Structure 1
């Protein structure tokens, strides 16, 4: 029965993604005075879904390889390694967050 529940969740997530992609496409279509077919929205949704699944699989693999069960920011930085511009943006953001966290930690009294 766990498979049926998992399949149902997967289908609900895909439906939510389809709805969100459809809204974005509709908004952009109206701005550009163009039309998009339901087939286009469906194909775009499938493409985005496959990208999400691929990304999730890669992140899980990086985490497992490091001996962890939790995905961390470093895994996301590693995922972006093949896109230098994206990698730099993500790395800078992660470094900024780490610096803020370290700064917050300095203000705490030690016991």
Structure 2
């Protein structure tokens, strides 16, 4: 019975993922004038869920190997090492977040200094 709350959370996550993927597939189907079956959406959802689980396991392993219990951006960067485009996008996002956090009110100054 101890797994019931965890299983409930997992099922809610799957349902939310199914809904989100269904919305994306519907939008693309309309844009491309194609149809997608509910079975396709279900299998795509299961595939995405499997990828999410694999990423989570890898990130936990990287943090554990480094002697940490918390996953950090270094772990994410290590995970993306074989996909340079994804790694670049994530690095840009991280750099922007650090700049925004470090600047505080400096956002205006940064915008002014670029002119």
Q: Report the TM-score range of the alignment, normalised by the length of the smaller protein.
A: 0.7 to 0.9
Corresponding residue for residue 53 of structure 1: 53
Which residue in the other structure is 2:89 paired with? 89
Cα displacement (A) at 1:87: 1.7
Match of 1:43 in 2: 43
Q: Distance in 1 between matches of 2:76 and 2:82?
A: 12
Cα distance in 2 for residues equivalent to 1:73 and 1:84: 16
Paired with 1:50 and 1:97, the residues of 2 have a C-alpha distance of: 29
| RMSD across aligned positions (CA) | 1.6
The ranges of structure 1 where at least 4 consecutive aligned residues each deviate by more than 3 angstroms after the TM superposition are 95-104
1:11-90 paired onto structure 2 within 5 Å: 11-90=11-90
Deviates more, 1:23-32 or 1:91-100: 91-100
Deviates more, 1:93-102 or 1:30-39: 93-102
2-structure distance, mates of 1:99, 1:27 = 35
Q: TM-score, normalised by structure 1?
A: 0.83
Q: Mark the runs of 5 or more structure 1 residues left unpaired by the alignment.
A: 105-111
5+ unaligned residues in a row in structure 2: which ranges? 105-115
**Number of residue pairs matched?**
104
* Alpha-carbon distance between aligned partners in 1 of 2:23 and 2:50, rounded to the nearest angstrom: 19
